Amino acid sequence: MDLEKVELKVNAASLEAISPPTSTGEEEQELSRLYQDMQNNSLTPLWQIETNLLSRQPNPEAVAWLWKWQNLYEIARRSGELVPIHRGGDRRAIALSNPGLKGKPFATPTMWTAVQWLNGHEVAPAHRHTAQAIRFIIDGSGSWSTVEGDRVFLERGDLVLTPPMLWHDHGSKVDERSIWMDGLDIPLNNFLDASFFEPYPAEAQEVTQVLNGTVLKYGVGQLRPAWEKPSVNYPPMHTYKWAETERALNNLAQVAASPFDDVALEYINPQTGRSVMQSFTCWIQMLRPGIHTRAHRQVGSAVYHVFEGSGETIINGISFEWEQGDFFVVPSWAWHEFRNRSTDRRAILFSMQDTPIIAALNKYREEAFTENGGHQPVTGRFTPKQFQ
Ligand code: GTQ
Ligand code: FE2
């Protein structure tokens, strides 16, 4: 549990280790000239950085963190008043910026998570990009997303997918504002130097089929229009409606649950069984009243949004108390367990996790916490920043 923080710096001990004890002043001078020449020639000796480079276990820069809904909402609302949506920015999205990531606007090393605010009667203009995207609707009704000509109306709890290079715009014909969570693989996409982006020639796409057509055509999931081929790269439907998701949670709760995550479901492409995006997966989980799960840890990072209820996640021994609307991050290889202290209210968490990319590269590992009945000793409490 105590991750050793090994600093990247020239280590005096290792310098001594490689110079013979009998070394003369002249040899030491030679050696320091050697290191200087390495630096001048853009070279680095492995023997001085190895412990950090090949750490014994993941040593993430991202930290466990919690963002309060009250703050997010207020800041998004004020942005809605002061900041128009225009081409170039395209979206009124405010990114959760992990304090461990040195000012980068990313929630974890692989994932961008933002809160997006759309005023009534606004349009967030159409564009497409190689970054893979999802949105999970938090509040407001009457707004829509059009993905590749399919327009879907958005309600609380819906998951909307924007696979790579599909045109998408969001808009509204009602007075009420809409607010949702955005999840994209922007940091991974940029790390791999794979970013392409194109604005659409018009503000919004033309709608090319019946409204909510994607849901009508594919929403049941277990049946496919017989004349179509299975959709392999990403799911055939762009939207997973909350009513279906909730039904699945309630059904699963009658049958089985995970000791680590309680009643947890992964959104999948029903035609392949795979995650909705290649670079990250989405989960919905219900923590039943009174549940306290066992701790475990995995390679890969996760961002959670509290869709409903309140509770606690203990991450590496620190208690993170959350309530509806909050967001929190679990970094790679961090012990974590969930608790719903309420005796009568369920808690529901939506999350995005970078497991698919980790697993695809054969880097996935997980471990259960076996001591103390599977529960970590709590050594502290996270104090969230409160909006002033
Ligand atoms: O809604 O299309 O948070 O393209 C970042 C980039 C949202 C979007 C974001 C995007 C979008
Ligand atoms: Fe986009």
pLDDT of residue 308: 98
Residue 320 has pLDDT above 50, yes or no: yes
Say how many Å lie between the CA of residue 357 and the centre of ligand 2.
Answer: 21
Determine the residue of 116, 122, 200 to mutate for testing ligand 1's pocket, defined as the one with the most ligand atoms within 8 A of the Cβ atom.
Answer: 116
| Reported confidence tier of residue 12, pLDDT bands at 50, 70, 90 | very low
* Tens-place pLDDT, residues 57-87: 999 999 999 999 999 999 999 999 999 998 8
Contact by Cβ (8 Å): 355, 272 = no
| Reported confidence tier of residue 10, pLDDT bands at 50, 70, 90 | very low
**Token pair 């969930």 in the structure block, residue:** 338
Determine the residue of 79, 87, 90 to mutate for testing ligand 1's pocket, defined as the one with the most ligand atoms within 8 A of the Cβ atom.
Answer: 90
Name the H helices within 163-253.
186-191, 213-218, 242-253
Bridge pairing between strands 302-308 and 112-118: unpaired
Nearest to 207 by CA among 129, 164, 144, 137: 144
Residue 53: C-alpha distances to residues 144, 234, 246, 363 (Å): 46, 35, 44, 16
Cα 300 from Cα 15, distance rounded (Å): 34
Bridge pairing between strands 327-330 and 302-308: antiparallel
Say how many Å lie between the CA of residue 10 and the centre of ligand 2.
Answer: 43
- The count of other CB atoms within 10 Å of the CB of residue 193 is 6
* Cα-trace Rg, the chain: 24
The proportion of the chain whose per-residue pLDDT surpasses 90, expressed as a percent, equals 89
Cα 162 from Cα 238, distance rounded (Å): 7
Say how many Å lie between the CA of residue 222 and the centre of ligand 2.
Answer: 29
User: For the residues 81-107, what does the mean pLDDT come to?
Assistant: 96
Cα 47 from Cα 63, distance rounded (Å): 28
Determine the residue of 79, 87, 91 to mutate for testing ligand 1's pocket, defined as the one with the most ligand atoms within 8 A of the Cβ atom.
Answer: 91
Determine the residue of 96, 180, 184 to mutate for testing ligand 1's pocket, defined as the one with the most ligand atoms within 8 A of the Cβ atom.
Answer: 184
Q: Which residue has the higher pLDDT, 64 or 10?
A: 64
Please give the CATH topology (third level) of the domain spanning 65-387: Jelly Rolls (2.60.120)
Predicted structure pTM score: 0.93
Closest approach atom of ligand 1 to CA 124: 1
Contact by Cβ (8 Å): 112, 187 = yes
Q: In the beta sheet, which residues pair with residue 171?
A: 123, 144
Contact by Cβ (8 Å): 339, 291 = yes
Residue bearing the CA closest to ligand 1, atom 11: 91
Name the amino acid, one letter, at 226. A
Say how many Å lie between the CA of residue 314 and the centre of ligand 1.
Answer: 30
pLDDT of residue 154: 94
pLDDT of residue 23: 67
Mention every residue, 6+ apart, whose C-beta is less than 8 A from residue 170.
Answer: 91, 116, 118, 123, 124, 143, 144, 145, 146, 178
Q: Name the helix (H) or strand (E) containing 315.
A: strand 311-315
Residue 161: C-alpha distances to residues 42, 67, 150, 239, 282 (Å): 43, 24, 12, 6, 11
Bridge pairing between strands 318-322 and 380-381: parallel
Q: Name the helix (H) or strand (E) containing 330.
A: strand 327-330
- Ligand 1: list residues with CB < 6 Å: 91, 93, 114, 116, 133, 168, 182, 184
Say how many Å lie between the CA of residue 27 and the centre of ligand 2.
Answer: 59
Q: Which residue has the higher pLDDT, 346 or 13?
A: 346
Q: What's the token pair of residue 329? A: 């991050």
User: For the residues 225-244, what does the mean pLDDT come to?
Assistant: 96
| Reported confidence tier of residue 89, pLDDT bands at 50, 70, 90 | confident
pLDDT of residue 20: 54
* Tens-place pLDDT, residues 163-218: 999 999 999 989 999 999 999 999 999 999 999 999 999 999 999 999 999 999 99
Nearest to 58 by CA among 386, 316, 326: 316
| Reported confidence tier of residue 13, pLDDT bands at 50, 70, 90 | very low
Residue 18 has pLDDT above 60, yes or no: no
Chain mean pLDDT for the chain: 93
Say how many Å lie between the CA of residue 63 and the centre of ligand 2.
Answer: 26
Residue 2 has pLDDT above 90, yes or no: no
Least confident of 47-61, 269-283, 340-354: 47-61
Contact by Cβ (8 Å): 108, 98 = yes
Say how many Å lie between the CA of residue 182 and the centre of ligand 1.
Answer: 7
Contact by Cβ (8 Å): 379, 330 = no
User: For the residues 83-93, what does the mean pLDDT come to?
Assistant: 93
CA terminus-to-terminus distance, the chain: 34
Q: In the beta sheet, which residues pair with residue 151?
A: 146
Name the amino acid, one letter, at 142. G
Closest approach atom of ligand 1 to CA 162: 2
| Reported confidence tier of residue 366, pLDDT bands at 50, 70, 90 | very high
